[in-house]
Amino acid sequence: MIREFQLFIAFLVLGTAVLSCAPSKSEESSQHPNIIYIMSDDHAYQAISAYGYGLNETPNIDRLANEGAIFTRACVTNSLCAPSRAVLLTGKHSFINGKVDNVQAFNWDQSNFPKILQSNGYQTAMIGKIHLDGIPQGFDFSMVLPGQGQYYNPDFLIEGERVRKEGYVTDIITETALDWLKNKRDQDKPFCLLYHQKAPHRNWLPAPEYVNLYDDKTFELPETFFDDYSDRGSAAKEQEMEINRDMMWGHDFKFIVDPNGDSTNFVPDLKRMNEEQRANWMAAYESENQEFLKNKPEGEELAKWKFNRYIKDYLRCIKSVDDGVGELLDYLKETGLDKNTIVVYTSDQGFYLGEHGWFDKRFMYEESLRTPLIVRYPNEIKPGTKIDNLVQNLDFAPTFLDYAGIEVPAGMQGESFRRLVSGETSEFRDAIYYTYYEYPAVHMVKRHYGVATSRYKLMHFYYDVDEWEMYDLEKDPREMHNIYDDPTYADVQKMLHEKLTETRSKYGDSDELDQKYLKAYLDHQEQQRNRNNN
């Protein structure tokens, strides 16, 4: 009897040990976390209140930052919409994945991280803006805007079929993303959702409920708004992206008739609205426009008026984006999905909000190069984490695969920042590499490439010029003074040239590739001219 009792106790102990070694359901699921990647278009880090610039309030995006990690030096490899998105998907630089500008075709047949997740048991969806031609590959469900898309009553390509949806684009994208999460996905599989907003891309049409937001506020011009570019090269001087000079009365400032009495290109936007939307818009804008035309300001006052029309519409669009993030986070919390879901908030690049007098992006200067990046994952990231290391959009694909427990393909050029953001290491890359190709074109930002460290930056502008620029970001954070020929920085210049040679070689870039893509771009332009002439 005693012997039998001892055997029974031994069996219980052994069984308990076996059970304790078996992974629990929560442990099993944490090996395959869900991923929600939120990308807005042209959302400057300066316009997220968690970054501390005091421009606007984004409480829901800030919530992610408070509960996760905020990156202060997240950068892009190419500050342009379509190339940035191709880098996100492939984990490869533009000159490797082939999408160097908004002109060249993107090859969807190449590997991308959603395809890899999909083949390893993840359910995947892309909803919103991707700005890459062709039907997205790697997704169980896709509903994307064709090209840039429209703010009001937009068309979507749903699994390749064009469908028009009534309403405001930001709200529609959020509603569709939530519907997929709630009703369309297989709840027995981990998921990856790419939730991409069009806003706040030009031409900044706010939602009906926010057309009067900031009416009671006047925004001050940035310190560098009247920059004369005197200590920079020809690229800064010859650009065409100045708010006061290059913005359009119709497309940007929302005038139906310009100060010369001519009809503007804003009319098609109004025609796309339904009667209720159009009445709401006219009530908000037209009386103010007429008052402007009667008492047109001049000089600095005109510049200030233009800046305020721009920045108010830009920030109004962001308000809807932030609302959508709040709805998504509330759903995750209500369902308990927040515990095992990685949520990323970012943009496809940075954006100028009047710094140097500019709007748009493209340059390797900080406001364009840097992008907001906030990551929340309760299982590994401590609330309130701040990361100052240099990371790039090149790193998203390998990071997501790392979290999913999938080996990163050798062809991917980025690095997983999983151990960095969890606090396991403080070491990461010491320099980033940047390229920009789309010239001559809209905004006329010259072709250039460069390298940046935590403190210094070196850029080479080429094609119709051969100019070098170098900056000390510690002493000159606004990049007002080119120190390339300053003899006191001779050692720094030498170091940066060596670093540039090293990074170009590491990633596989070369002057020969530059010439290849230049020829393809110029050939495309010639074909366009011939088509237009015929």
Mean per-residue pLDDT for 1-25? Answer: 40
Mean per-residue pLDDT for 114-124? Answer: 98
Percent share of the chain, pLDDT over 70: 94
Mean per-residue pLDDT for 429-451? Answer: 98
Please tell me the pTM assigned to this model: 0.94
In this prediction, residue 532 carries a pLDDT of 86
Q: How far apart are CA 99 and CA 511, in angstroms?
A: 17
In this prediction, residue 30 carries a pLDDT of 54
Domains of the chain: 31-204+311-430 (3.40.720.10), 208-306 (no CATH), 448-529 (3.30.1120)
CA atoms within a 13 Å half-sphere pointing along the CA-CB vector of 290: 5
Mean per-residue pLDDT for 425-448? Answer: 97
Fill in the DSSP letter of residue 181: I
Residues in a beta bridge with 448: 436, 461
Of 388, 484, 491, 392, the closest CA to residue 432 belongs to 392
In this prediction, residue 165 carries a pLDDT of 98
Residue-wise pLDDT for 242-254, tens only, equals: 999 999 999 999 9
Contacts of residue 37, Cβ cutoff 8 Å, sequence gap at least 6: 192, 193, 194, 195, 344, 346, 396, 400
Q: Convert 112-142 into a string of H (helix), E (strand) and C (coil).
A: CHHHHHHHCCCEEEEEECCCCCCCCCCCCEE
Question: Is the pLDDT at 28 greater than 80, yes or no?
Answer: no
Question: Is the pLDDT at 23 greater than 50, yes or no?
Answer: no
Question: Is the pLDDT at 534 greater than 80, yes or no?
Answer: no
Question: Is the pLDDT at 12 greater than 80, yes or no?
Answer: no
Question: Is the pLDDT at 21 greater than 70, yes or no?
Answer: no
In this prediction, residue 6 carries a pLDDT of 47
Q: How far apart are CA 372 and CA 321, in angstroms?
A: 14
Q: In the predicted model, what is the mean pLDDT of the chain?
A: 94
Residue-wise pLDDT for 164-202, tens only, equals: 999 999 999 999 999 999 999 999 999 999 999 999 999
**Alpha carbon 183 to its chain's center:** 28
Question: Is the pLDDT at 110 greater than 50, yes or no?
Answer: yes
Question: Is the pLDDT at 10 greater than 50, yes or no?
Answer: no
Model confidence at 533, pLDDT cuts 50, 70, 90, reads: confident
Residue-wise pLDDT for 374-389, tens only, equals: 999 999 999 999 999 9
